[in-house]
Amino acid sequence: MTRPYANLSRRMTIVALLVALLPLNGLGFSLYYYYNYANTQALKEELRIRALNRASAIELFLAERTALLEVLAHGARLTQLSNESELANLLSIMNRRSWSFVDLGIIDKEGRHRAYVGPYLLKEQKYLDAPWFQQAMQKGVYTSDVFLGYRQVPHFVIAAKHENGSDSWVLRATIDSDVFNRLVRTAQVGKSGDAYILDRQGRLQTPSRLGGKVLDPAPVELGSVAPGSSVVERTTADGRQVLTAFSWICGGKWLLVIDQDPKEILGPLNLARNVELAVLALASLFVVVAVFILVRLFIRQLQRNDEERAAIDAQLAHSARLVSLGRMAAGVAHEINNPLAAISELAGEVQDILVPSELAKLEEGEVVGENLERIQNQVERAREVTHRMLKFARRMEPHLEGIDINDVLRESYSFIEKEALFNNVKVQLDLSPNLPVIKSDRAQLQQVFLNLMDNALDAVGQGGRVRVTSRADGSWLTVKVNDSGPGVPADLAGRIFDPFFTTKDPGQGTGLGLSISHSITQRLGGSLELENHPGQGATFVVRLPNSPPDTP
């Protein structure tokens, strides 16, 4: 591909790729972004609703137990509950309704543990300075943060105050951490999900699957958490990107935190997204390949059309030159024929005057007679050449006529006979007799055969061999021109009829002879083909129909 066509191909490829890929990839990446954004937003909303629902469930859990404790505290008497058997019976009744209480105790207004039912030895312990006791005495009911206390086990309590005049005391119950933790963990989803509660100091009130144990520092900063409920994207301590939902509970006392790795939840959706990207990539690849192929085919066709147009122009110019050459040859022949006729006539008159008896009297009469005869012979030879030129000139105008193909071959050979003798090339005419007369264009066929014979002479060089055969083959006549040259290289045989293609040395040929001959045979309804044997010569086969083509 020449440079202009290569530049055109490059520009067309770039434009076609831009026109095809920009909308395709723009749409694809827009859908990808929207798909990713929509899925993330949907997950955030689902996570926010889950946090709200779980926060409501936790608040309801605590509210039920607080209300139960308040009812018992206001309806019971201290003397009754100071009896540990009565207290144990009360704890049993409470757990039958809701299995979530670990122990139950009565603390008088001096903070002394008057009665206790549970797994720990806490009776007679002093709670006057305990924050939860002070809050219960002030507010009437209080839910504590998780603390260790005397038992040195993380737990939290609900305390309800009984006040009747000067008689006041606190009914305290410890909530079962396992029950409460299970309630919180129901907000977890999948293997990467985590749910836990933090207090205002940022300490874990329930264990975190990934973040630590109860009372460990929080894995999130509370200062940036908005009131109510919210969802944010954050990076965990181990470098994972997660979505975190926050929801304040118990009037802002605690913060419910739900962490979720979006990759786990969106895995199937991300797979569909990746399939979309793969389809987009394959479509883009298909477009690129298709553009390259189509542009290449278009450029090749354009180049072929330009070459054919150039070949036609060259053929027209060549034909015009042949017509001009024929006219010039006719003029030259006429100009030469007149002096030749005069020379022949004068030589004849001299021969008539100098009869043999007179020539015998001359000293050099015999030499004069021989010279006169030579003059007549040379004049006749020159006349044959001029007649051949006139015949060639008359055949420049194309027209259909009845043709003996063997006559055309012999006449074509006469034009290259001297060149063959000069180069010591043996030309064998193996022409089948009695071939049918065909209707075709004699001048154009002569041009084809001259081209083939001339190429054969060039191919064989000095001392070579050229064989021309003609045969009848059903409704076709076949002419073969075979040479003993090196043949056409196999990798070039497919281009042998291309315009301007030649295997000759630079300056030795135009590359139009075979192309023009190929076009002529096709216009005449026939064909020109190459039978190639690299290293053993080449054979060009001309096939012509017995009947004329529809269009000459």
Spell out the domains of the chain, with CATH numbers in brackets. Answer: 16-265 (3.30.450.20), 400-552 (3.30.565.10)
Higher pLDDT, 239 or 462: 462
What pLDDT is stored for residue 367 in this prediction? 66
What is the rounded average pLDDT for all residues in the chain? 82
For the chain, the residue count is 552
> Is 551 a residue whose pLDDT tops 50?
no
Higher pLDDT, 381 or 19: 19
> Is 479 a residue whose pLDDT tops 90?
yes
pTM: 0.53
Concatenated DSSP letters for 280-338? HHHHHHHHHHHHHHHHHHHHHHHHHHHHHHHHHHHHHHHHHHHHHHHHHHHHHHHHHHH
Average pLDDT over residues 451-475: 88
Higher pLDDT, 386 or 99: 99
Q: Which residues pair with 113 in a beta bridge?
A: 107
Collapsed DSSP state (helix, strand, coil) of residue 76: coil
Q: What is the pLDDT of residues 352-377, one digit of tens each?
A: 766 565 555 555 556 666 777 778 77
How far apart, in whole angstroms, are the C-alpha atoms of residue 255 and residue 233? Answer: 17
The torsion angles phi and psi of 58, rounded to 5 degrees, stand at -65, -45
Q: Which two tokens stand for residue 379?
A: 């004049």
Closest to 258 measured CA to CA, from 218, 222, 228, 231? 231
Cα dist. 370→349, 358, 373, 460, 500 in Å? 15, 14, 5, 41, 53
Average pLDDT over residues 508-534: 77
Q: Which residues pair with 401 in a beta bridge?
A: 440
User: Sorting pLDDT into bands at 50, 70 and 90, what band is 507?
Assistant: very low
> Is 502 a residue whose pLDDT tops 80?
no
How far apart, in whole angstroms, are the C-alpha atoms of residue 124 and residue 114? Answer: 6
> Is 350 a residue whose pLDDT tops 80?
no
> Is 256 a residue whose pLDDT tops 70?
yes
Neighbours of 96 (CB within 10 A): 8
Closest to 132 measured CA to CA, from 101, 159, 110, 150? 159
Closest to 188 measured CA to CA, from 54, 59, 58, 56? 54
Torsion of CA 45, 53, 51, 266, to 10 degrees: -50
Whether the CB-CB separation of 246 and 255 falls below 8 Å is answered with: yes
Closest to 136 measured CA to CA, from 166, 112, 168? 168
Closest to 280 measured CA to CA, from 551, 21, 16, 552? 21
Closest to 528 measured CA to CA, from 452, 427, 428, 425? 452
What percentage of the chain has pLDDT greater than the value 70? 85
Q: What is the pLDDT of residues 47-98, one digit of tens each?
A: 899 999 999 999 999 999 999 899 888 887 877 788 888 889 888 988 887 7
241-249 and 229-235 as β-strands: parallel, antiparallel, unpaired?
antiparallel
Higher pLDDT, 319 or 482: 482
Torsion of CA 308, 309, 315, 318, to 10 degrees: -140
How far apart, in whole angstroms, are the C-alpha atoms of residue 495 and residue 304? Answer: 12
Average pLDDT over residues 34-53: 85
